[in-house]
């Protein structure tokens, strides 16, 4: 009972991806599958088109029951994608009995050859030319040019009649061979048949008034801007990657090459590979776009896109996409006065086929027949009909079983958000019991039949004739959310089928993933999608709420932008720069982001609070004293901030004198004290020497601390034993003598000692406090005297 995923098949076009997820098991048929995708590199999986399951062991092709080659698959198309873009696609299957291999995902790139240009040289071609060199003045013949063509070549065809031509030589992917008019105002004419049996060839701008075009076993070719008449274009054999665009295909009165109907574009049965038919203009054909394999598994337009075509005044179907219908997408086409049907969809054998946002209009009173011809061979491949607008003022019926009217042979059709405005029946199912089985579902549509017209009844179903109320009451699962009202188009007479703002269809549709949700290419405006092909209003993506950046500074420094609160659009990239003040360094970002990078680039996916941290630059000052003295501060290692001032005093012991400061064994000065500003690690040593003393004499060192001097001046002296030595201390301006240290003491600036041993005499000066006026001193003394009087009063 469990499901096992077997394989995931992804088939792209420029704007769509066909998805097939093959599975085994799930005999009790209770699994469900969901489809998601994302542009490669994105982290957000976009939920998209509902997957449809195909468990049929057999299908009916051309009246015979044959094995279903697509049995046991979940399938869907992702639509509205970007060309030349890498996507990842993921299918997730849930089965209460267990799943093996889910989810399954894979990469796929959408097509890009529509914009590929040849990289090679350009040559010129003229009818009947010979012996030239391919230049404008000496062009080649087309037969010669085609026979020598290399990938990347471009051939410009001078005006004239070229007859027929078979194109055999191929370009390569990314480097096609191009044939185009030399004079756009006077394009080359081909009265005979044009045959493509080549790859990566681009034919552009030919007048082709007679012979028809056969694209046979030819892949990745582009046919564009043809004016094609009398005979149409046939697709046959392997034609993967064929793009037919911007052509005017009209007045097709003869069968196209190998074709059996006078279609504008005709696809033969058994033809392989997806094609894209877009932006063409069809008029006066049999089918606009059709083919021969209507009831065959190998017919139709599998893995193909038919979109943005204008099809007018054709004799049979506007677009006849019958056959396998495997991942066929038909959208944005305009179908005007197509005689037999707008869309021939009888039947879809494999599916799913998506028909969406097409406009069909019939105003020619001679035209009745069917809008959507549904059918009809019991195979019941899925057909999804979304957001189409149909407007018929004639006897045309809406959705009909014209492709097969026997009971119960039409199924797996969902109609949503469509407008079907007809003066005949909007739904016509003639089988009894109904040809529509209970898997045919109409809902959220506006199926409107104004009073009067060609028939009284709104719908025929199951042998009964109904008005709208009776239809809903009699078919309780149909159009539960639907309506039957005037759509209020802006101006049908001018082919403007936009809704008026007052239309009850505005915001009355159903959200359909992939086709109208905000992540789709057709995001709805308002509270819900509008019914019909044209959404009212312009979609404005929601303004993302801004994100808040809070920037703070800790320590001595600034930032760019400066600290504060800032609002930015979500997903903005902001560069933050930390700028330390002098003698400080940047120590990293903290808060929402921890990083040492500077500058720091942040992407604001949410609110951020970031602190720029700065710290002082610290250096180590190592102080040492060699024998014979000490230092103040004492020997050791000290931390100092960069830029701070350090004072080191050398204090010689008795009998020694201070010689110099050294660093790294080299002298750096003799001043004492040593004063310096810290800008690096330092290792400073005070060097002392023994005072050299003759016999009968003693060594006396005189040292000054602070700012002042002595008489005799500071230095080392030898003094005869027992003789008196007088030293006088004299401060500089702003300093005063504070006393003697070393081997002497006292505060009298003049001192006399009897030298009976080695002496170290240190005169200490201290900075004078700020001067105070005599008046203030006397006032202070008076205040104290007052206090004394008070203290004594008690």
Tell me the C-alpha distance between 513 and 494, whole Å.
32
Tell me the C-alpha distance between 89 and 106, whole Å.
6
Tell me the C-alpha distance between 301 and 287, whole Å.
14
Work out the number of other CB atoms within 10 angstroms of the CB of residue 238: 15
Tell me the C-alpha distance between 579 and 560, whole Å.
8
Work out the number of other CB atoms within 10 angstroms of the CB of residue 469: 10
DSSP letter (8 states) at residue 34: E
Minimum separation from the CB atom of position 746 to another protein (A): 18
Q: How many residues bind another protein (CB under 8 A)?
A: 16
Minimum separation from the CB atom of position 728 to another protein (A): 22
Minimum separation from the CB atom of position 750 to another protein (A): 20
Tell me the C-alpha distance between 549 and 253, whole Å.
70
- How far, CA to CA in Å, does 36 sit from each of 74, 76, 467, 598? 13, 11, 41, 39
Minimum separation from the CB atom of position 784 to another protein (A): 4
Minimal CA–CA distance to 20: which of 33, 29, 38, 3? 33
- How far, CA to CA in Å, does 142 sit from each of 152, 172, 257? 16, 20, 21
Work out the number of other CB atoms within 10 angstroms of the CB of residue 36: 19
- The dihedral built from the CA positions of residue 170, 174, 175 and 180, taken in this order, carries a sign that is positive
- CB closer to another protein, 172 vs 779: 779
Residue 587 has phi, psi (to 5 degrees) of: -115, 10
Work out the number of other CB atoms within 10 angstroms of the CB of residue 328: 31
Minimum separation from the CB atom of position 690 to another protein (A): 44
DSSP letter (8 states) at residue 634: P
- How far, CA to CA in Å, does 429 sit from each of 204, 343, 398, 459, 560? 45, 16, 10, 8, 73
CB 15 within 8 A of CB 305: yes
Tell me the C-alpha distance between 347 and 326, whole Å.
12
Minimum separation from the CB atom of position 786 to another protein (A): 7
Write 661-670 long-range contacts (CB < 8 A, 24+).
Answer: 661/685, 661/686, 661/687, 662/687
- CB closer to another protein, 601 vs 781: 781
Minimum separation from the CB atom of position 792 to another protein (A): 6
- CB closer to another protein, 365 vs 792: 792
- CB closer to another protein, 117 vs 786: 786
CB 241 within 8 A of CB 220: yes
Minimal CA–CA distance to 330: which of 350, 341, 316, 344? 344
Residue 794 binds another protein, judged by CB under 8 A: yes
- CB closer to another protein, 67 vs 787: 787
Minimum separation from the CB atom of position 648 to another protein (A): 34
Tell me the C-alpha distance between 586 and 579, whole Å.
7
What is the spatial order of strands in the sheet that 3-12 belongs to? Answer: 52-54, 73-78, 17-25, 3-12, 99-100
Q: Show the tokens assigned to 591.
A: 């808060």
x/- letters, 359..378, toward another protein (CB under 8 A): --------------------
Minimum separation from the CB atom of position 709 to another protein (A): 24
x/- letters, 714..753, toward another protein (CB under 8 A): ----------------------------------------
Minimum separation from the CB atom of position 766 to another protein (A): 16
CB 292 within 8 A of CB 260: yes
Minimal CA–CA distance to 206: which of 195, 217, 198? 195
Which H or E element spans position 227?
strand 227-230
- CB closer to another protein, 452 vs 792: 792
- CB closer to another protein, 66 vs 787: 787
CB 159 within 8 A of CB 187: yes
Minimum separation from the CB atom of position 772 to another protein (A): 8
- CB closer to another protein, 603 vs 786: 786
- CB closer to another protein, 260 vs 784: 784
Minimum separation from the CB atom of position 771 to another protein (A): 10
Residue 349 has phi, psi (to 5 degrees) of: -85, -45
Minimum separation from the CB atom of position 788 to another protein (A): 5
Minimum separation from the CB atom of position 682 to another protein (A): 42
DSSP per residue over 287-302, as a string? SSEEES-TTSTT-S-T
CB 667 within 8 A of CB 626: no
Minimum separation from the CB atom of position 731 to another protein (A): 17
Residues whose CB is less than 8 angstroms from the CB of residue 469 and which lie 6 or more positions away in sequence, other chains included: none
SS3 457: coil
- CB closer to another protein, 666 vs 791: 791
- CB closer to another protein, 711 vs 768: 768
Length of the chain: 794
Minimum separation from the CB atom of position 749 to another protein (A): 17
Contact positions with another protein (CB under 8 A) in 538-567: none
Minimum separation from the CB atom of position 745 to another protein (A): 22
- CB closer to another protein, 43 vs 773: 773
Tell me the C-alpha distance between 777 and 520, whole Å.
90
x/- letters, 752..791, toward another protein (CB under 8 A): --------------------x-x--xx-xx--xxxxx-xx
Minimum separation from the CB atom of position 748 to another protein (A): 16
Tell me the C-alpha distance between 460 and 463, whole Å.
7
- How far, CA to CA in Å, does 722 sit from each of 719, 750, 758? 8, 19, 11
- CB closer to another protein, 473 vs 778: 778
Q: Show the tokens assigned to 130.
A: 């010979």
- CB closer to another protein, 677 vs 781: 781
* Residues in touch with another protein (CB under 8 A): 772, 774, 777-778, 780-781, 784-788, 790-794
């Amino acid at each position: 009972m469990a499901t096992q995923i077997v394989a995931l098949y992804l088939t792209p076009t420029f704007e769509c991806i066909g998805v097939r997820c093959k599975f085994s098991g799930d005999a009790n048929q209770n699994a469900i599958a969901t489809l998601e995708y994302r542009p490669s590199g994105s982290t957000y999986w976009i939920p998209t088109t509902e997957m449809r399951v195909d468990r049929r062991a057999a299908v009916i092709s051309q009246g015979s029951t044959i094995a279903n080659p697509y049995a046991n698959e979940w399938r869907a198309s992702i639509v509205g994608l970007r060309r030349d873009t890498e996507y990842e696609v993921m299918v997730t299957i849930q089965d209460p009995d267990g799943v093996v291999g889910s989810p399954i995902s894979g990469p796929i790139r959408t097509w890009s050859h529509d914009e590929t240009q040849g990289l090679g040289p350009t040559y010129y071609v003229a009818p009947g030319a010979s012996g030239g060199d391919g230049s404008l003045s000496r062009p080649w013949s087309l037969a010669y040019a085609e026979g020598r063509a290399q990938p990347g070549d471009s051939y410009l065809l001078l005006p004239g009649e070229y007859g027929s031509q078979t194109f055999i030589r191929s370009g390569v992917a990314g480097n096609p061979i191009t044939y185009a008019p030399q004079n756009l105002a006077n394009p080359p004419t081909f009265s005979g048949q044009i045959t493509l049996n080549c790859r990566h060839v681009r034919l552009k701008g030919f007048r082709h008034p007679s012979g028809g075009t056969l694209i046979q076993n030819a892949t990745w070719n582009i046919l564009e801007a043809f004016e094609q008449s009398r005979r149409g274009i046939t697709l046959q054999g392997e034609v993967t990657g064929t793009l037919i665009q911007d052509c005017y295909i009209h007045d097709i009165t003869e069968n196209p090459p190998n074709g059996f109907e006078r279609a504008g574009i005709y696809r033969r049965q058994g033809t392989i590979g997806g094609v894209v038919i877009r932006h063409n203009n069809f008029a006066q054909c049999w089918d606009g776009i059709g083919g021969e394999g209507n009831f065959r598994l190998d017919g139709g337009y599998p893995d193909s896109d038919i979109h943005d075509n204008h099809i007018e005044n054709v004799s049979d179907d506007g677009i006849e996409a019958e056959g396998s219908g495997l991942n066929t997408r038909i959208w944005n086409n305009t179908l005007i006065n197509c005689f037999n049907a707008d869309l021939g969809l009888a039947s879809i054998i494999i599916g799913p086929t998506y028909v969406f946002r097409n406009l069909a209009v019939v105003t020619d009173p001679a035209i009745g027949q069917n809008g959507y011809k549904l059918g009809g061979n019991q195979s019941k491949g899925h057909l999804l009909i979304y957001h189409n607008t149909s407007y018929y003022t004639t006897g045309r019926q809406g959705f009909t079983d014209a492709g097969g009217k026997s009971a119960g042979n039409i199924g797996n059709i969902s109609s949503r958000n469509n407008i079907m405005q007809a003066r005949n029946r909007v739904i016509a199912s003639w089988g009894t019991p109904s040809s529509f089985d209970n898997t045919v579902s109409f809902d959220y549509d506006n199926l409107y039949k104004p009073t009067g017209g060609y028939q009284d009844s709104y719908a025929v179903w199951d042998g009964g004739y109904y008005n709208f109320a009776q239809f809903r009451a009699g078919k309780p699962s149909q159009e539960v959310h639907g309506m039957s009202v005037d759509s209020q188009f802006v101006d049908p007479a001018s082919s403007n089928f936009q809704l008026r703002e007052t239309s009850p269809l505005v915001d009355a549709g159903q959200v359909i993933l992939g086709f109208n949700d905000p992540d789709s290419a057709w995001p709805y405006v308002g509270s819900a999608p509008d019914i019909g092909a044209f959404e009212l209003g312009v979609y404005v993506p929601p303004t993302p709420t801004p994100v808040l950046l809070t920037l703070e500074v800790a320590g001595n420094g600034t930032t760019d932008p400066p600290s504060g609160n800032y609002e930015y659009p979500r997903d903005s990239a902001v560069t933050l720069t930390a700028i330390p003040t002098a003698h400080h360094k940047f120590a990293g970002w903290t808060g929402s982001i921890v990083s040492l990078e500077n500058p720091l680039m942040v992407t604001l996916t949410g609110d951020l609070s970031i602190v720029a941290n700065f710290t002082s630059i610290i250096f180590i000052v190592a102080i040492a004293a060699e024998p014979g003295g000490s230092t103040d501060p004492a020997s050791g290692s000290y931390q100092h901030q960069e830029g701070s001032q350090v004072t080191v005093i050398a204090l010689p012991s008795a009998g020694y004198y201070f010689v110099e400061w050294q660093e790294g064994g080299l002298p750096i000065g003799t001043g004492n004290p040593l004063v310096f500003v810290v800008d690096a690690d330092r290792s400073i040593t005070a060097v002392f020497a023994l005072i050299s003393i003759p016999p009968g004499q003693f060594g006396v060192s005189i040292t000054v601390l602070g700012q002042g001097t002595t008489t005799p001046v500071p230095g080392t002296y030898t003094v005869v034993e027992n003789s008196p030595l007088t030293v006088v201390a004299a401060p500089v301006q702003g300093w005063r003598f504070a006393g003697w240290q070393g081997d002497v003491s006292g505060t009298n600036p003049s001192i006399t000692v009897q030298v009976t041993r080695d002496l170290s005499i240190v005169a200490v000066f201290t900075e004078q406090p700020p001067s105070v006026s005599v008046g203030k001193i006397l006032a202070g003394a008076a205040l104290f005297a007052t206090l004394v009087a008070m203290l004594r009063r008690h």
